[in-house]
Amino acid sequence: MNPLELTLGIMTAVGGFVDISQLVFSGQAGSMFGYSLISAFAISTIGIIVYGEMCGRVAAVAHQPLLSLMRHRLGLKLGLGTLLASFLSTLITTAAEIGGLGMILNHLTGAPYLPMCIVSTLVLMASMWVLPFKWIERTYGLLGLCMIVFVAALFAIHPPWDKIAGGFVPHVPRGLSTKELFNFSYFVVAIFSAVMFPYEAFFYSSGGIEEGWKPKDLLTNRVTSIVGMGLGSLLSIAVLALAALLFAPTGVAPQIPGSVALQTAEPFGKLGLILALLGMLFAVAGAAVETCMANAYSVTQFFGWEWGRHKKPWEAPRFTVAWIVVMLLALAIVMTGVEVMNLVGYAVVFSIVVLPLSYLPLMLLANDRSYMREYANKWLAKGLGWIFFVIVSVAAIAAIPLYVITSGGQA
Amino acid sequence: MLRRPLLLFLLLAGCSKGPEADLSYISGARSLAAEWALVNEQASQGHLTDAYVRTMRKAVRQQLQTNATSLSDPNTAYAQEIAALLREPDDARPAELRAHASKLKQIEDSLESS
């Protein structure tokens, strides 16, 4: 197996795990609750691996993208409702990523924020127009690996590994007040939402079809989803652990995404800071492309239109128009002056609400032997699939009340 | 079925005002003071680039200003503390900034316990 084949999983995961919302949540989670939320990352990572692998398998065997399944399994009305909700949450996420890019470029170069948002949008659109899918995935997936500087920083400051290991065991920290307990619950829900964003599944599933996966590629799919998502999770956990070590003692619960880069400046100085900002820049750029394309995939697949970036832009005109419109709409949201941190909160809450409806049709089809033949879900995938379905359903019900009670984790 | 209780809940949550509603702005300002202190501390050790230091200070100030204007009453002790924080020079000593953060923490704790 060619290691470069892993880039779809890496881009999906880096774009999903270390996008602007995840960077902020990881930093705040570590600062407020130490290592105890590592388990939320670990468990939700298993969830996204389970669903990611399922998406890839369905794409390879049935050649069915997720949104097409949604329409057939949920019916037109419910399917359309889910499409609309997921489109909105993903659009807000794209806007948050563009705002994040503007901020990071502002910190890197000192140039003003809004012009940097416009420049980044234009560069992203140019890359999406020019590069074939394979190269989009490789460019953003591999450049996003600069984020490894956070893992290196964690090793460099000699953290208490026993406490970090203890964080993998699910527990609620002792002595929390009622308010802190609500905040803790909000972070659990937000982490599940941010790790399992539906756009990751839409993108991964469509990416598998773009790459022409067949049943012989099922091993690639399995390895890609495990390695890609595992790597994304590792990066998030490193940011969380660094926040627990460096931010918590000084009372920092990052309010500005750029603060996260301070974590690598501590051990590595200016070089660490620049590498962290570059890593964040590429990871967030990957997430912007991923979310934008996920929305274009969703709309075109749902309505049965021609889609795909393996085709020339003019060979799938509605798909091309869709991603251009999504990118411009996201930029328009940013240009209104809305704060990136607010966008991040809305995106996470919106996403968790549509998660169950996004993953249910996938599970139903992956369980269906008449469709998937010998590749249908076995007991492990089936069992884990239903367990995570229950978890995300409970999280979806709790998300909005928790968001209101905790003012988006800030109360 | 869940629509009515949810609407009632959102309505009640939206009705909270005064110091209780300001708590999130106070804790935000407290963290911003700590972030500013950390930036100035690392800048003094030569760990940060000029562009980063300048833009982070500006972002912190803007966010603090937003928090200050969102408060329900500008005459409270915490509003005055945030205003005092905003009067600090860009290159304020980390210890001074942390002192503001710790005052805001005390106010936050006393509001929560009352």
Using CB atoms within 10 Å of the CB of residue A85, give its burial: 0 to 12 exposed, 13 to 18 middle, 19+ buried.
middle
**pTM of the full structure:** 0.89
List of chain A residues whose C-beta atoms are within 8 Å of the C-beta of residue B37: 250
pLDDT band (50, 70, 90) for residue B61: very high
**Mutation target among B12, B50, B52 for the A interface, most CBs of A within 10 A:** B52
Please determine, for residue B1, whether its predicted confidence score (pLDDT) is greater than 50.
no
What is the share, in percent, of chain A residues with pLDDT greater than 90? 48
DSSP string, B55-84: HHHHHHHHHHHHHHHH-S-TTSHHHHHHHH
Residues of B engaging A, defined by a Cβ cutoff of 8 Å: 2, 6, 9-10, 13-14, 23-24, 27-28, 30-32, 34-35, 37-39, 42, 46-52, 54-56, 59-60, 63, 66, 98, 101-102, 105, 112
Do residue B49 and residue A266 have CB atoms under 8 angstroms apart?
A: no
List of chain B residues whose C-beta atoms are within 8 Å of the C-beta of residue A273: 47-49, 52
pLDDT tens readout for residues A19-69: 887 888 899 999 999 999 999 999 999 999 999 999 999 889 988 777 777
From B49's Cα to the closest Cα of chain A, the distance in A is 6
From B91's Cα to the closest Cα of chain A, the distance in A is 17
Measured over the CA atoms of residue A16, residue A20, residue A23 and residue A27, the dihedral's sign is negative
List of chain B residues whose C-beta atoms are within 8 Å of the C-beta of residue A257: none
Q: Does A44 lie at the interface with B, CB-CB under 8 angstroms?
A: no
Helices (H), A243-316: 262-302
Nearest-CB residue to A258 (from B56, B66, B98): B56
CA angle A220, A226, A232 (to 5 degrees): 125
**ipTM of the complex model:** 0.87
Helices (H), A131-217: 133-143, 148-156, 161-167, 178-195, 198-210
| End-to-end C-alpha distance for chain B, whole angstroms | 36
Measured over the CA atoms of residue A270, residue A275, residue A276 and residue A280, the dihedral's sign is positive
Q: What is the pLDDT of residue A411?
A: 60
Nearest of A262, A9, A266, A31 to residue A138 by alpha carbon? A9
Q: What is the pLDDT of residue B8?
A: 47
User: Which positions ≥6 away from A295 have C-beta within 8 Å?
Assistant: A87, A90, A91, A94, A199, A322, A323, A326
Q: In 10 A of CB A58, how many CB atoms?
A: 29
Location of structure tokens 């500087």: A149
Do residue B60 and residue A256 have CB atoms under 8 angstroms apart?
A: yes
Q: Does A296 lie at the interface with B, CB-CB under 8 angstroms?
A: no
pLDDT band (50, 70, 90) for residue B54: very high
List of chain A residues whose C-beta atoms are within 8 Å of the C-beta of residue B10: 400, 404
List of chain A residues whose C-beta atoms are within 8 Å of the C-beta of residue B23: 407, 411
Residue A362 one-letter amino acid:
L
Mean pLDDT value across residues B20-43: 91
Q: What is the pLDDT of residue A177?
A: 85
Q: Which stretches of chain A drop beneath a pLDDT of 50?
A: none
Nearest chain B alpha carbon to A397? B2
CA within 13 Å, CB half, B28: 28
Do residue B63 and residue A256 have CB atoms under 8 angstroms apart?
A: yes
Mean pLDDT value across residues B66-80: 89
List of chain B residues whose C-beta atoms are within 8 Å of the C-beta of residue A108: 51-52
pLDDT tens readout for residues A69-93: 777 777 788 788 888 888 988 999 9
Q: In 10 A of CB A215, how many CB atoms?
A: 13
Do residue A411 and residue B24 have CB atoms under 8 angstroms apart?
A: yes
b/e sequence B72-111, b meaning 16+ C-beta within 10 Å: eeeebebbebbeebeebeeebebeebbebbebbbebbeeb
Nearest-CB residue to B42 (from A258, A266, A274): A266
Distance CA A12, CA A385 (A): 20
Please determine, for residue B10, whether its predicted confidence score (pLDDT) is greater than 50.
no
Do residue A262 and residue B9 have CB atoms under 8 angstroms apart?
A: no
Q: What is the pLDDT of residue A112?
A: 95
Across the A:B interface, residue pairs with CB atoms under 8 Å apart total: 99
How far is residue A129 CA from its own chain's centroid?
22
pLDDT band (50, 70, 90) for residue B18: low
Do residue B63 and residue A255 have CB atoms under 8 angstroms apart?
A: yes
pLDDT tens readout for residues B22-31: 888 898 999 9
